[in-house]
Amino acid sequence: MHPASVAAEATGARQGGPSALAAALAASRADTLATFAACERALPGLAVPLLAELNPPLWELGHIGWFQEYWIARNPERALGDRASADAPRTAPLRPGADALYDSSRVPHDSRWQLPLPDADTTRGDLDRQLALTLQLLASAGDGDDALYAFRLALLHEDMHHEAALYMARGLGVPIADPRWQPRRLPEPPGCLEIDVGSWRLGSPAGAGFAFDNELPAHEVALHPFGIDAQALRWAEYLPFVEAGGYGQPQWWTPEGWRWRRARAECGPRHLRRDGKVWLAWRHGLWQPLELAEAAVNLSRHEAEAWCAWAGRRLPTEAEWEAAACTRPEAFRWADVWEWTASPFSPFDGFRPHPYRDYSAPWFDGRPVLRGASHCTQPRMRHPRYRNFFPAGRNDVPAGLRSCAAG
């Protein structure tokens, strides 16, 4: 995606006024409902297996509306922005008992398969009422960053869940026809970008609209000169590692990565299999010929590190990634896949949790940071300073890598 388009979309979500937010909230909801409808068509009874990486689609749908109502219509301190109390007493939900069904902070994951959830049509009706109330409140909210904080948070939260719905759909074999969420062909690798900035101010600047709490405060980081790939790794570059037997050779893997590899039945990347000399990919519920020019995707951080060791490369730190993306936007292609970095997800010095305290702080456990965005990410979510974070063994998310010169 062209860097200028990425920047314009992200700026609109983080800095746009009430009219732009109203349009984005409506568009986000339309995408949520369209992807849910695809699951309804493909999954009898909307049934999915109880796995740590999945949620019941009906629960996901209700949770999205609940979250928006909880942080906007039911939040008496929403006008205080990121200074609002997380524990401010809430007004009653539109649906009695909704907190016991949809509050992800208090409803254990595995219990979501047994909850007495309203049916799909009733849940859609709840979402219609919740969105109507949100838009009514937005029209009179004012245009300051504090006044719009909760609306921007709810928008981006829904966009995150839409991306999760898309990659869950891929694993479940649900066909997604919308061309916006399909992977793109990448050109031949244009080579390394040489970056020499001395230091970099990592994180989001204060007073520049919405920012997630883990992006703050911005601070200076010393950087040595480095070379970094101009785009994400394609299957054409990753599969030689697989074909050379890399998944059976422990010397390329970290000890943690080798334990992860040994615990899995597959001896190769997720959603891929080989038919003779042809690689096939699982997409739309079918095995189809793999497009080698697409970015390598559904790789864990362990696989990314193993490829780097085999190729004599390394993963970038998140400061290196951000510096390259921001200083060389004309040459640094991103938003094809989420990209693993070498950095742990940890708080910046001076971190202050925002009202939605469960967004960042519970996950400062050493899991790695991913940067960028994927072909499943809403364009308005794509921001060069956004920090994503997943455990190193997750390979269901649309993640891949770019590498740096070792040394």
Q: For the residues 132-153, what does the mean pLDDT come to?
A: 97
- Cα maximum dimension of the chain: 62
Q: What is the pLDDT of residues 307-336, one digit of tens each?
A: 999 999 999 999 999 999 999 999 999 999
pLDDT of residue 224: 97
SS3 256: helix
| pLDDT of 3 over the 60 cut | no
| pLDDT of 8 over the 70 cut | no
Closest alpha carbon to 298 in 382, 243, 376, 219: 376
Its pTM surpasses 0.85 = yes
pLDDT of residue 30: 98
pLDDT of residue 308: 98
Q: What is the pLDDT of residues 41-69, one digit of tens each?
A: 999 999 999 999 999 999 999 999 999 99
What is the rounded average pLDDT for all residues in the chain?
96
Query: 7: pLDDT confidence band, cut at 50, 70 and 90?
Result: low
| pLDDT of 343 over the 80 cut | yes
pLDDT of residue 317: 98
On whether the CB atoms of residues 131 and 29 are closer than 8 A, the answer is yes
| pLDDT of 5 over the 60 cut | no
Q: What is the pLDDT of residues 353-405, one digit of tens each?
A: 999 999 999 999 999 999 999 999 999 999 999 999 999 999 999 999 999 99
pLDDT of residue 191: 85
Q: For the residues 261-279, what does the mean pLDDT come to?
A: 94
Q: What is the pLDDT of residues 186-243, one digit of tens each?
A: 999 998 999 999 999 999 998 889 999 999 999 999 999 999 999 999 999 999 999 9
Q: What percent of the chain has pLDDT over 90?
A: 95
Instruction: Give the span between the Cα atoms of 181 and 377, in whole angstroms.
Output: 8
Instruction: Give the span between the Cα atoms of 83 and 26, in whole angstroms.
Output: 26
Stronger pLDDT, 36 or 8, i.e. the higher one: 36
SS3 187: coil
Q: What is the pLDDT of residues 199-212, one digit of tens each?
A: 999 999 988 899 99
- Tell me which DSSP letter residue 278 carries: E
Burial (CB < 10 A; 0-12, 13-18, 19+), residue 43, is middle
Query: 6: pLDDT confidence band, cut at 50, 70 and 90?
Result: low
On whether the CB atoms of residues 159 and 378 are closer than 8 A, the answer is yes
| pLDDT of 2 over the 70 cut | no
Query: 34: pLDDT confidence band, cut at 50, 70 and 90?
Result: very high
pLDDT of residue 9: 72
* H-only helix segments in 294-402: 301-311, 318-327
Q: What is the pLDDT of residues 73-114, one digit of tens each?
A: 999 999 999 999 999 999 999 999 999 999 999 999 999 999
Length of the chain: 407
